[in-house]
Amino acid sequence: MEQVVMNTALKASEPLVDEISEKSHVDIKECYQCGTCAAGCPVGYLSDYSPRQIVRMLQTGLVEEVFKSKMIWFCIGCGNCVARCPRKLDIPHLNDTLRILSKEKGYPPAEKGIDVFNDSFLKTVKHTGRLYEAGLTMLYNVRSGNFMAGMDVAPHMFKLGKISPFPHLIKGRGEVSQIFKKVDELKGGK
């Protein structure tokens, strides 16, 4: 009975799994579940599933569960999984694609505020050319409604020179802005 349910889920979700593979350029069929990605994942212990489990869920057609998972949002893109994978599957890029598609399909992020953080992070990079920590903190706090988050450590961080009240602007800011503009065009002007 379980096999029948799994086969039905796989058949129903095949077009979506194919879309995920096409957009991410990650052929999930290549994964043979060795587990090295999970062993090296620094956020795996925080999440509901490991990278290996996410790929297996996609292989078996459990796309809705993947869209609802914390792992696709917790992935920090460190690349440990890619470096260790004998098949060189780009799991961080797969997770980026899964985040985009889950939002497009109407699934809210599994962790409250994480999409606000991601969007705030990208806004600071878009405007300064690199991460502006104080700006990220202020923007995230305002957008999330958690106005005082991190304020207890801010004075110490300023004193140590770890964050600056002013952004460090890079020389190639225009080029970085053009990258964001091109991505917006590819997404249809969103």
Q: Which of 82, 104, 126 is the last residue of a domain?
A: 104
Mean pLDDT in residue range 176-180: 88
Instruction: Provide the domain limits for residue 77.
Output: 2-104
**120 and 73 together in one domain:** no
pLDDT, greater one: 138 or 52: 52
Mean pLDDT in residue range 97-101: 93
In the predicted structure, residue 135 carries a pLDDT above the cut 90: no
| Alpha-carbon distances of 157 from 87, 93, 134, 151, 160, rounded to whole Å | 41, 32, 10, 10, 5
**100 and 119 together in one domain:** no
Q: Give the pLDDT confidence score for residue 129 in this predicted structure.
A: 86
**83 and 153 together in one domain:** no
In the predicted structure, residue 18 carries a pLDDT above the cut 60: yes
**62 and 6 together in one domain:** yes
Q: Is residue 132, in this structure, part of any structural domain at all?
A: yes
- List, for residues 155-175, the tens digit of each pLDDT value: 888 888 888 888 888 888 888
As a dihedral over the C-alpha atoms of residue 131, residue 146, residue 77, residue 110, rounded to 10 degrees, the angle is -160
Confidence grade of residue 189 (pLDDT, cut at 50, 70, 90): low
**44 and 22 together in one domain:** yes
Q: Which of 104, 136, 162 is the last residue of a domain?
A: 104
Q: Is residue 49, in this structure, part of any structural domain at all?
A: yes
**14 and 76 together in one domain:** yes
Q: Is residue 109, in this structure, part of any structural domain at all?
A: no
DSSP state of 107: P
Q: How many domains does the chain contain in total?
A: 2
What pTM was computed for the model? 0.73
> 34: which 2 tokens?
């060795």
Q: Give the pLDDT confidence score for residue 8 in this predicted structure.
A: 61
In the predicted structure, residue 4 carries a pLDDT above the cut 70: no
**What is the gyration radius of the CA atoms in the chain, in angstroms?**
19
Distance of alpha carbon 36 from alpha carbon 183, whole angstroms = 32
**72 and 132 together in one domain:** no
Q: Give the pLDDT confidence score for residue 2 in this predicted structure.
A: 55
Mean pLDDT of the chain: 87
**74 and 121 together in one domain:** no
Q: Which of 45, 70, 104 is the last residue of a domain?
A: 104
- List, for residues 21-65, the tens digit of each pLDDT value: 999 999 999 999 999 999 989 999 989 999 999 999 999 999 999
